[in-house]
Structure 1
Amino acid sequence: MASAAGRRRRRWSALGLVPPLTLALFLGPIAGGLIGTWAPAFGILPALGGTEPSLGPWRALLEAPGLAAAVLLSAGTGLGATLLSVGIALWFCAAWHGTRVFSGLRRLLAPLLALPHAAFAIGFAFLIAPSGWLARLLSPWATGWTWPPDLGTVNDPMGLALVLGLVVKEVPFLLLMTFAALNQVRADRTLTVARTMGYGPVTAWGKTVLPLVYPQLRLPVYAVLAFSASVVDMALILGPGTPPTLAVLVLRWFSDPDLAMRYQAAAGACLQLVLAGALIALWRLGEVIAGRIGRRWAVSGRRGGTGAVARSVSAVLAAGIVLVAMGASAGLGLWSVAERWRFPDALPAAWSWETWTRALPHLAGPAWTTLSAGVASAGVALVLVLGCLENEQRARLRPSARGLWLLYLPLLVPQIGFLFGAQVLLVSAGLNGTWIALVWSHLLFVLPYVFLALADPWRALDERYARSALCLGATPWRVFWRVRLPLLLRPVLGAAAIGFSVSVAQYLPTQFAGAGRLPTLTTEAIGLAAGSDRRLIGVYGFAQAALPLIVFALALALPAAVDRVRRWRR
């Protein structure tokens, strides 16, 4: 009896080590990376001879041509994309909550989230370019164009293409977070009470549900804002080049053959951090102002109309986002098998697998690196998240706001702001350019998404299942393996698929941790995006998009297959 109790205590203490281990794995490197970035920004980088503090890097940064324009461009595109994304997501929820359209869009979120940013950006560029698919579908019968028009629809100086691309990618994420937040509040009951008082559907949602939901959306919105203002892969493909956004400009300095530029680049990375913090502070100020205006509107007594116009407009916007994502994916596939596709033909005049045949020998290496790193990082993240959630259940812990902030930290800190410092740590440890470093760098961003995807379903599982099993003599671990995991197999596999897709999409972590020795489909696709061979770009972009979609399909199919096996055994 005593030995059994001792073993159980040891198991519980071992499980209790998982949360601090998880925090150490992704918060420690971020802290070290920030220190490793700020120190060179003030002249301290012993590897390059910098041993004394200096303001030289900041003076060089402020004198850099195009810096002010790059900062304004980053701020404008970040704020614009976030405002549009939040507005569309909340507007759609207000207009369609509780309807079949609302439920249908929830089922479409998985494939939309699975599409990597770089693959989508390439497909979106193929879609909206002057010689892109949209122009081909409308020409010459609607436009009269027989040659591609002279329009700057991609890489425009104002970054409009980048903003639109970010909106298409961020709205599904915000919708997913909104759906999760709605599960935490009694939205249906609140809406029913408001509707019985004569409020229209949109007004009722805005006055009763939004104040309950938005506090839970605050961190996801901040993450979207920080990402939009510091994104690199999409900015390289869709954003302007002269000057580029601040993050792209800093990446150029980090990639400069002149090693002395690392100091200026580190100062630029710190400026990117300051910019992200300033934008979040500005957004918070806007929340306070909007809250005061909203309180006056909430008590004004205005009932609102039927919401028909809001439903129509929000449905068009949501359908447009889905169609653009589907069109971008289809464009990648078409270009990868097109042999001859002249403007303004809507479809290729001839088809061929020649580009795939020619690219496959070179595609195999990056594909294997992408697959192995994705499986490893998603697998490690899933084990850590399951350990944290199981410890939370057994210890009867309640999730805290501080824990949520720590979880979102890798998403709130711009990647360019700490990855250089993390690379310095990897070089010091002799791990730079290794597969382990690559997996670890992806894990920093995979783990938060896996936790966010799995936490709500895990916590929502009825505890009576576990209590019944414990009363029948099952051990806590037996309950975990035989009760919780089988019941939650679908969300567990879904969270793993999300983690895999996040790993596939990583560009900057791969560049810094891989040191150019471990190319992935993402780095290869972005490297080719500046070229003129759309067929080869389509092959790499389609291959990058296909991997997460295959994994999501497996995550959906496996639970059904397991259920059929169980029924057959019975």
Structure 2
Amino acid sequence: MARHLPALARVFTLVLFLAPVLAGVLGTILPSLGLMPGGTQAPLGSLDTTPWRDLLGTPGLGASVGVSLRVGVLSTALSLGLALLIVAGARGTPVMAWSRRALAPLLAVPHVAVALGLAFLLAPSGWIARLLSPWATGWTLPPDVATAPDPWGLAAVLALVVKETPYLVLMLLAALPQVDADRAVRVARGLGHGPLAAWGRVVLPRVWPLIRLPVYAVLAYGLSVVDVALVLAPTTPPPLAVAVVGWLSDPEAAIRGQGAAGAVLQTLLVIAVMGVARGGEAVVARLARPWLSAGPGARDWERRLGVWGALAAALPVALLTAGAVLAMALWSIAGTWFWPAAWPSALSLETWTRHLGDVAWPLGTTVTVGLAATALAVVLAAGVLEAPRRPAADRARLAGGILYLPLLVPQVGFLYGVTVAATLAGLDGTWAAVTTGHLLFVLPYVFLTLAGPWRRLDPRWGRVAAGLGAGPGRVFWRVTLPLLLRPVLFAAAVGFAVSVAQYLPTLFLGAGVHPTLTTEAVALAAGGDRRIIGVHVFLQAALPLLGFALALAVPAWLHRDRRGMRAAEDGR
């Protein structure tokens, strides 16, 4: 039985993902055609285009689509460019080592926490303006300028770039060993190519197919982001996804039908942009052929340019993330803080003591749902990754592609349908429904984080154990898992951080009964009380950071007397 458990885990995982996503998409399409479950809009078997007519007649719909396109495309392009510059330019330098160490804390901070922090940093009365006023700006009052949010959505773009750049760097670093990037660059350098040209000519064409899906996931998220948009995007009109969530939350069935049509439009928009991006890849590849086949032209300045470019890309991302969290943490303990003071007149724990009881319930939900979803994700990911050892790695690649599905389909495009299905099954508003909703997004990240180390594990360890009489289960528990303890715990920390950041799954499936720190922080953002928001943002950032700290500390303590185990965990 034990030898069949990985295969069963793989099948169960694929069904778990395909069923909710496909049912969710169907449950969104049907209401957009007038087939509202429990409603009276159209009899079964007939179609009604009224939701689509209402949607297309909505004032400002084109502008909403334009904002979504601007935010999604621009943030993805900038994030990808910065990630490539960091990885290519800093290769083999202290900047790369520093960037690796900074990845965990940068990834740990939820999107909405960064957005709320940036809203204070960039606001006309924010921390940056306070630090520069009045001595540098001459401002005695906050300027009357819309900066966060701004009419063009650039603040939302900045927040997404700050969050998605570390993620793409991590995906690149995980993909490079699969194409033997260091050896390829050494060969190209030996032929006279400069470091950046060598990386672009011999590594990027080979690594791009491995990071295409992560890049498309970033693109899909940017095009349909809701929580960051609620904080930093324009409101007149809002991005399409924000408008859709508002319509889907309306008690009137006709408005919900319009929202369902908007959710389908959002999905079609993402598909269309991905199609254009895929076609653009072919165009870029054709245009780049002369450069790819060009002879060597090494320049000494190219190495310095790469290092300084990588530092110029990585440092602002780290500083903005740290500044955003620090600003809100400071607000949580601030007394009076009047303009243009750069520092509060007094520090006090009054906000914490006064609101700690209010935070307890969302904090408990965040922790329990996060731990449950992460534990399930680690078990399922391990099952999927262990199955190819039996023999078929192609099935693992297929599984990895399917696990990307919830990241490639806009959340508003299928979560409403999942909510409808949960309501019909009597599960809407339950803790289990919220946990399952989080699992849909936690598992892909856990799988992606764990796949590289798992597949790089030398199979000879298992064969030696099997030769000594150990069965598959014993090999897994006594050999595979101890050797991969650090990657497993790091993947769990990533999964927990993803769960803490989830907004729409909690909003739709929780039905207001199971609030989390993220849903509460977004709700409080409209109120403008920075002290209370600061408490939620600090806890949002502290929980994932604690998870990453444990992921690093536990293996170091357990294997403190085993140098070989530490080397195996580090992949050496």
* TM score, norm. by length of structure 1: 0.96
Listed one character per residue, the Cα deviations across residues 81-117 of structure 1 (whole Å, up to 9, x for unaligned) are 1111111111222211122211221121111111011
User: For 2:99 and 2:543, how far apart are their aligned partners in 1?
Assistant: 22
Structure 1 residue 40 corresponds to structure 2 residue 31 = yes
Aligned match for 1:231, one of 219, 225, 233: 225
Q: Which whole-Å CA distance do the structure 1 matches of 2:535 and 2:104 have between them? A: 23
Q: Distance in 2 between matches of 1:245 and 1:460?
A: 42
Number of the residue aligned with 1:135: 129
Change over 3 Å in CA distance of 1:104–1:566 after alignment to 2: closer
Displacement of 1:309 in angstroms is 3.1
Aligned-partner Cα distance in 1 for 2:172–2:141: 44
Which of residues 282, 305, 318 in structure 1 aligns to 2:276? 282
Query: Partners of 2:369 and 2:561 in 1: how far apart?
Result: 30
Deviation, 1:500, is 0.6
Equivalent position of 1:115 in the other structure: 109
C-alpha separation in 1, matches of 2:195 and 2:5 = 50
1:167 aligns with 2:161: yes
Give the SS at the match of 2:509: helix
2:326 pairs with 1:326? no
> C-alpha separation between the residues in 2 aligned to 1:194 and 1:16?
42
How far does residue 343 in structure 1 lie from its aligned partner after superposition?
1.8
Q: SS of the counterpart of 1:46?
A: coil
Larger mean CA deviation between 394-403 and 351-360 belongs to: 394-403
1:48-103 deviation digits (Å, cap 9, x = unpaired): 11323111110000001111000011011111111111111112222111222112
Q: Which moved more, 1:35-44 or 1:13-22?
A: 13-22
Partner of 1:441: 437
Say if 1:528 and 1:491 are closer, same or farther in 2 by CA, change over 3 A. same
Aligned residue for 2:569?
Answer: none
Q: Distance in 2 between matches of 1:488 and 1:467?
A: 16
Match of 2:71 in 1: 77
Letter in 2 for 1:512: F
Separation in structure 1 between the aligned mates of residue 197 and residue 113 of structure 2, nearest angstrom: 38
Residue 210 (structure 1) aligned to one of 196, 204, 208: 204
Pairs within 5 Å for 1:83-98: 83-98=77-92
Task: Give the distance between the partners of 2:306 and 2:454, measured in 1 at CA.
Answer: 35
CA distance in 2, matches of 1:104, 1:399: 36
Q: Distance in 1 between matches of 2:329 and 2:112?
A: 15
Q: How many Å apart are 1:183 and its aligned residue?
A: 1.2
Q: Any conservation in 2 of the 1:375–1:500 contact (CA below 8 Å)?
A: yes
Q: 2:334 aligns to what?
A: 338
Unaligned runs of 5+ in 1: 1-9
The corresponding residue for 2:420 is 424
Find the partner of 1:561 among 557, 560, 563. 557
Name 1:393's counterpart in structure 2. Answer: 389
Partner of 2:488: 492
- Equivalent position amino acid for 2:354 in 1: R
- Residues 117 and 325, structure 2, Cα contact 8 Å, conserved in 1: yes
How far apart are 1:259 and its partner, in Å? 2.8
For the pair 1:59 / 2:53, whether they are aligned, the reply is yes
Q: Which moved more, 1:305-314 or 1:164-173?
A: 305-314
Using the TM superposition, give the Cα deviation of residue 356 of structure 1 relative to its aligned residue in structure 2, in angstroms: 0.5
Deviation at residue 405 of structure 1 after TM alignment = 2.2
Check the 8 A contact 1:433/1:516 in 2, yes or no: yes
Q: Measure, in 2, the Cα distance between the counterparts of 1:320 and 1:89.
A: 13
Q: Which residue of 1 aligns with 2:343?
A: 347
Match of 1:468 in 2: 464
CA-CA distance at 1:318 after TM superposition:
1.1
Partner of 1:372: 368
Which residue among 377, 383, 387 is the counterpart of 1:381? 377
Q: Distance in 2 between matches of 1:193 and 1:488?
A: 31
Aligned-pair distance for 1:442? Answer: 0.4
Match for residue 517 of structure 2 among 521, 529, 532: 521
Residue identity opposite 1:559 in structure 2: P
Query: Which of 12, 22, 28 is equivalent to 2:13?
Result: 22
Using the alignment, how far apart are the partners of 2:403 and 2:288 within structure 1? 30
The worse-fitting range, judged by mean Cα deviation, of 353-362 and 147-156 is 147-156
Residue 267 of structure 2 is matched in structure 1 by 273
| Aligned mate of 2:409, from 413, 416, 431 | 413
Partner of 1:183: 177
What secondary structure does 1:31 align onto? helix
Secondary structure of the 2:71 match is helix
1:26–1:443: 8 Å Cα contact kept in structure 2?
no
Q: Which residue of the partner structure matches residue 40 of structure 2? A: 49
Q: Whole-Å Cα distance in 1 between the matches of residues 476 and 203 of structure 2? A: 35
Report the more deviating stretch, 392-401 or 296-305.
392-401
Match of 2:567 in 1: none
CA contact (8 A) 1:41 1:264 kept: yes
Contact 2:384 2:399 in 1 (8 A): no
For residues 471 and 205 of structure 1, the distance between their equivalents in structure 2, rounded to whole angstroms, comes to 42
CA distance in 2, matches of 1:186, 1:565: 31
SS in 2 for 1:418: helix
- Structure-2 separation of matches of 1:98 and 1:312: 13
Root-mean-square deviation (CA), in Å?
1.4
Native 8 Å contact 2:31 2:261 kept in 1? yes
Task: Output the CA distance in 2 between the equivalents of 1:104 and 1:311.
Answer: 12
For 1:121, give the aligned amino acid.
A
Alignment of 1:251-266 (within 5 A): 251-266=245-260
8 Å CA contact retained: 1:202, 1:304 = no
CA contact (8 A) 2:334 2:346 kept: yes
Counterpart position of 1:312: 308
Compute the displacement of 1:392 (Å).
2.0
Give the secondary structure class of the aligned counterpart of 2:455: helix
Matched-pair contact (CA < 8 Å) for 2:149–2:231: yes
Query: Does residue 260 of structure 2 align to residue 301 of structure 1?
Result: no
User: Hey, what's the Cα distance between the residues in 1 that align with 2:368 and 2:177?
Assistant: 34
Q: Are 2:443 and 1:451 equivalent residues in the alignment?
A: no
Question: How far apart are residue 302 of structure 1 and its match?
Answer: 5.6
What SS does the aligned partner of 2:393 have? coil
Matched letter for residue 264 of structure 2: C
Shift of 1:120: 1.1
Contact 1:146 / 1:344 at 8 angstroms: preserved in 2? yes
Shift of 1:304: 5.2
How far off is 1:137 after superposition? 1.7
- Relative distance call for 1:447 and 1:515 in structure 2 (3 A) is same
**Is the contact made by 2:194 and 2:296 (CA closer than 8 Å) also made in structure 1?**
no
Match of 2:531 among 527, 532, 535: 535
**Could you tell me how far 1:398 is from its partner in structure 2?**
4.0
Aligned residue pair count: 558
Does the residue aligned with 1:444 lie in a helix, a strand or coil?
Answer: helix
Query: Amino acid of the residue matched to residue 329 of structure 1?
Result: V
Unaligned runs of 5+ in 2: 564-572
CA contact (8 A) 2:419 2:508 kept: yes
Distance 1:411 1:444 in 2: 9
- 1:15 Cα offset (Å): 3.3
C-alpha distance in structure 1 between counterparts of 2:271 and 2:248, whole Å: 22
Amino acid of the structure 2 residue aligned with 1:369: T
Between 424-433 and 547-556, report the one with greater CA deviation: 547-556
